[in-house]
Amino acid sequence: MQTLTILGATGSIGKNTLDVVKRHTDKYQVYALTANSDYQTLLSQAKDFNAQHIVLADVSVKDDALALAASMKVTVKCHFGADALVYVSRHAEVDTVMAAIVGAAGLLPTFAAVEAGKRVLLANKEALVMSGEIFMSKAKQCGATILPIDSEHNAIFQCLPQRFEYGDLSASGISKILLTGSGGPFLETDLELFSDITPAQACAHPNWDMGQKISIDSATMMNKGLEFIEACWLFGLQNDDIEIVLHPQSTIHSMVQYTDGSVIAQMGLPDMRTPIAHALAYPARIQSGVSPLDFSQLRDFTFSTPCHKRYPNLYLALRAARMGQSACTVLNAANEVNVAAFLAGDISFNDIARFNAQVLDTHQLVKLTTIEEVIQCDNAAREIAQSAISESLC
Ligand code: NAD
Ligand code: MG
């Protein structure tokens, strides 16, 4: 039996994880489930999966959550506040932590799981973008196993050779990592119309059903930029080792090109239960609930290169990757603030890149050696991003 904590259980990845777990109750048991404030969903999940603990990060829902727990007669220990996320991540009874909180809020509990040497199923890419070197060296030092959940990174992981040398592609016979992306909902949209894009249009991804923040990041392709940085850290890659390829059908989830001319691709329907099941059971394979690909139905299978004008956020992220760690940390922070402002209707779709660029342009690189310094850097960048928005609204 593997004992699980699922950070971000009420989100898209969290729900997909529980969907896989419910098919294998002989293999996985839930220790703790967490959410920000959606106590109704969290309590009903706790009841269904017989969880021992739940954590709600937002303390303001405490009274309502406790009242509902009592009326539902759920025998689960309820905790409130961000510190409790760390408690259920590092607890000795836990084998595996699914890190599926969105954004920087996931950094501390995910890092706690790494420090405790857990098997960490990493969906929360922002944690790695913010703190790459600190995160990966802590994982090595503490014996944590990091298994990628992001579909592209999970695909790359599946396509790598068994004897992969971290940080040395040529020693592994690899010439390039091909990171694929669909291009999002605005791949064909006239650029003149970009200023009028609404949050609802940007959230309507053609292939994937995801949370709001990653849906906006997919529309701007900031998501691919964050994934580029994530791939560098996960597999020890240099910037030139990765090529970004547009593949609108999302059938191939990424590829590894070998020096002998072979290209190994991982394919499947765009359904996160596949990478989740892969990482949960690794190195074994289990049923995920995902249907097999039907090759008689596959029609188009196309590839192209993303263009600067359509996806300025992607190129900001690539610039941050070349600059260094603190540039990635501040860009990630600014992007979270600007995406939230776009979702709230305060800024336009084009403003996301404009305001992200302002923060990156003025950033002076600093050395980040501890998680506390990473958080300070993130907070400072958020303040700069927030004041740029406030000024624009005056
Ligand atoms: P989501 O918005 O659907 O869910 C986010 C979860 O985090 C929810 O449970 C929410 O309650 C919790 N949360 C939000 N703010 C919090 C806070 N301040 N403190 C504690 N918990 C908080 O997001 P998602 O789409 O499931 O994405 C989760 C992570 O996985 C992101 O980092 C995303 O980039 C990554 N990811 C998602 C997908 C996908 O298909 N959804 C694919 C690849 C990677
Ligand atoms: Mg992805």
- Compute, in angstroms, the gap from residue 123 CA to the centroid of ligand 2: 9
- Compute, in angstroms, the gap from residue 177 CA to the centroid of ligand 1: 26
Q: Is residue 117 part of a domain?
A: yes
Q: Which residue has its alpha carbon closest to ligand 1 atom 42?
A: 150
DSSP 32-101: EEEESS-HHHHHHHHHHHT-SEEEES-GGGHHHHHHHHHHHT---EEEESHHHHHHHHH-TT-SEEEE--
- Compute, in angstroms, the gap from residue 14 CA to the centroid of ligand 1: 8
Q: Which ligand is nearest to the CA of 107?
A: 1
Q: What is the CATH number of the domain that holds 71?
A: 3.40.50.720
pTM over 0.75: yes
Q: Is residue 325 part of a domain?
A: no
Query: For 319-354, what is each residue's pLDDT tens digit?
Result: 999 999 999 999 999 999 999 999 999 999 999 999
DSSP 10-43: TSHHHHHHHHHHTT-TTTEEEEEEEESS-HHHHH
Q: Is residue 83 part of a domain?
A: yes
- Compute, in angstroms, the gap from residue 350 CA to the centroid of ligand 2: 22
Ligand 1 site residues (CB inside 6 A) read 8-14, 35-36, 38, 57, 100-102, 105, 123-126, 150, 208, 210-214, 272
Residues, CB within 5 angstroms of ligand 2 (ion): 150-152
Query: For 208-236, what is each residue's pLDDT tens digit?
Result: 889 999 999 999 999 999 999 999 999 99
Q: Is residue 168 part of a domain?
A: no
- The mean pLDDT values, 10 residues at a time, for the chain of 394 residues are 98 98 98 98 98 98 97 94 98 98 98 98 98 97 98 98 90 96 96 95 89 96 98 97 97 97 97 98 98 92 94 98 98 98 96 97 96 98 95 84
What is the domain range of residue 114?
A: 2-148
Q: Is residue 187 part of a domain?
A: no
What is the domain count for the chain?
1
- Compute, in angstroms, the gap from residue 93 CA to the centroid of ligand 2: 30
